Amino acid sequence: MSFDLKAFKSDIVFYIDEYDKIQNLLSNIDSKMKEIKHFFDGREKVLLKMKNLKEKICDVPKIIEKLEEYNIKTKAIITDEFDEKNVTVENKEEEKEKTIILIKNLRSGQKITHNGNIILVGNVHVGSEINAGGSVVIFGSCHGLIKAGLRITPAYILTLSLNSPLIQINDIKHQLSKTYNNPTFIYSKGGKLIFDEIVQREEKL
């Protein structure tokens, strides 16, 4: 089974292990949800943890959409550094730094600013801007100005393709001299930004 869930204090974590095809995973989710749907009242917001997140980034919108068929909202995507023992109830002051998930295209002249992490399901067009206190994940193409880690360290940027004039993480700025047509993971190391382009392997039929 490539899909399972656990409850930790105030949070429910949906785990997605390695899988070969997205269609198989979605079928597994359907099977599991039919077994456990009586545990949910339609108001839950869950954490999503995926193995090999960077390699499977293109599948995340389909997974979020599948969970919403069961009235389950995804409030954050957690990384491999997530520690189950340290999941705690967040108070109202910490609400400001939670992850927000937006489903929209960001057009020229539009700006998103948030103290925490930002997940955008859509494209970031030329002339638009994202300012995040934490990390930024874009399930779409990125042609706008992206600033991450303005309040939280470490932070990263993850996007399906990248052709932006300027990227910033913490106080490190970088003007791009090339276009990244594959999913790209950007993080800071040794006082500079590292661009890790992920070339997708073709899925066997």
Q: Is residue 203 part of a domain?
A: no
Q: Are residues 144 and 62 in the same domain?
A: no
The CATH number covering residue 71 comes to 3.30.750.50
Long-range (24+ apart) CB contacts under 8 A made by 122-128 are: 124/159, 124/164
Convert the pLDDT of each residue in 23-50 to its tens digit: 999 998 898 888 877 777 666 778 888 8
Convert the pLDDT of each residue in 154-183 to its tens digit: 899 999 999 999 999 999 999 998 999 999
Q: How many domains does the chain have?
A: 2
Dig out the tokens for 55 from the structure.
Answer: 């390699």
Q: Are residues 55 and 103 in the same domain?
A: no
pLDDT band for position 85 (cuts 50, 70, 90): very low
Dig out the tokens for 184 from the structure.
Answer: 């790209």
The domain in which residue 56 lies consists of 3-82
Q: Is residue 192 part of a domain?
A: yes
| pLDDT of 43 | 66
Q: Are residues 76 and 125 in the same domain?
A: no
Q: Is residue 49 part of a domain?
A: yes
CA distances from 47 to 4, 14, 83 (A): 12, 6, 13
Task: Specify the DSSP element, H or E, that contains 117.
Answer: none
Q: Which pairing describes strands 184-189 and 192-197: parallel, antiparallel, or unpaired?
A: antiparallel
Q: Are residues 47 and 136 in the same domain?
A: no
Of 68-77, 131-140, 194-203, the poorest mean pLDDT is in 194-203
Q: Is residue 88 part of a domain?
A: no
Q: Is residue 190 part of a domain?
A: yes
Q: Are residues 63 and 117 in the same domain?
A: no
Inform me whether the pLDDT recorded for 7 exceeds 70. Answer: no
The CATH number covering residue 102 comes to 2.160.20.70
Convert the pLDDT of each residue in 47-61 to its tens digit: 888 887 777 777 888
Q: Are residues 166 and 187 in the same domain?
A: yes
Query: Which domain-ending residue is among 82, 113, 141?
Result: 82
| pLDDT of 163 | 94
User: For residue 54, which phi and psi values (nearest 5 degrees)?
Assistant: -60, -40
- State how far Cα 41 lies from the chain centre: 25
Convert the pLDDT of each residue in 101-156 to its tens digit: 888 899 999 999 999 899 998 999 999 999 999 999 999 999 999 999 999 888 99
Q: Are residues 108 and 180 in the same domain?
A: yes
| pLDDT of 162 | 95
Q: Is residue 87 part of a domain?
A: no
| pLDDT of 90 | 39
Inform me whether the pLDDT recorded for 97 exceeds 80. Answer: no
CA 68 – CA 110 distance, rounded (Å):
27
Task: Specify the DSSP element, H or E, that contains 145.
Answer: strand 145-148
Q: Are residues 114 and 186 in the same domain?
A: yes
